[in-house]
Structure 1
Amino acid sequence: MAELARSVAPPRGIEEILLETTTAAVELIPGADTAGILLVAKGGKFESHAGTTGLPHELDELQHTLQEGPCIGAAVDETIVRTDDFREESRWPAYSAAVVKIGVLSGLSLRLYTTERTAGALNLFGYEPTVWDTEAVTVGTVLAAHAASAIMAGRQDAELKSALATRDRIGQAKGIVMERFGVDDVAAFDMLRRLSQESNTPLVTVAQRVIETRG
Structure 2
Amino acid sequence: MDLFPPSNELGATLGRIRGLVLTQETAQHAVDLLAQVTQETTSNASGAGVSLIHESQRTSVGATDALVRTADDLQYTLSEGPCLTAWSTRSPVTIDDTTIDVRFPQWSAAAAGAGVRSCFSVPLLRGRDSLGAMKVYSTVPAAFDDADRARLTSLSIAASALLGHVQTSETSTRISSELRESLRSRDLVGIAKGILMEREGLSESEALAALTARARSTGVPFRQLTADIVNGHGDHGTRDALR
CA 1:3–1:15 in structure 2 vs 1: closer, same or farther (change >3 Å)?
farther
CA-to-aligned-CA distance 1:59-89 (integer Å, 9 cap, x gap): 2221111111100001111421001111110
Q: Residue 70 of structure 1 corresponds to which residue in structure 2? A: 82
Q: Residue 21 of structure 1 corresponds to which residue in structure 2? A: 34
Q: How many residues align?
A: 159
What residue ranges of structure 1 are gaps of 5+ in the alignment? 162-215
CA 1:77–1:34 in structure 2 vs 1: closer, same or farther (change >3 Å)?
same
Q: Is the 8 A contact 1:8 1:149 kept in 2?
A: no
Q: Aligned partners of 1:46 and 1:115: how far apart in 2?
A: 20
Q: Residue 52 of structure 2 corresponds to which residue in structure 1? A: 39
Answering whether residue 21 of structure 2 is matched by residue 8 of structure 1, we say: no
What residue ranges of structure 2 are gaps of 5+ in the alignment? 1-9, 173-243
Which residue of the other structure, out of 137, 158, 171, is the alignment partner of 2:149? 137
Which one has more relative contact order, counting CA pairs under 8 Å at least 6 apart?
Answer: 2
RMSD of Structure 2 on Structure 1 (CA): 2.2
Query: What SS does the aligned partner of 2:99 have?
Result: helix
Q: Aligned partners of 2:139 and 2:59: how far apart in 1?
A: 23
Q: Aligned partners of 2:60 and 2:33: how far apart in 1?
A: 15
Which residue of the other structure, out of 153, 167, 173, is the alignment partner of 1:155? 167
Larger Rg: 1
Q: Aligned partners of 1:83 and 1:74: how far apart in 2?
A: 12
TM-score (norm 2): 0.59
CA-to-aligned-CA distance 1:118-158 (integer Å, 9 cap, x gap): 531001100111242221111101221232122111123x2
The worse-fitting range, judged by mean Cα deviation, of 99-108 and 24-33 is 24-33
Give the AA of the match of 2:18.
V
The percentage of aligned residue pairs carrying the same residue is 25
Q: Is the 8 A contact 1:18 1:147 kept in 2?
A: no
Q: Is the 8 A contact 1:33 1:127 kept in 2?
A: yes
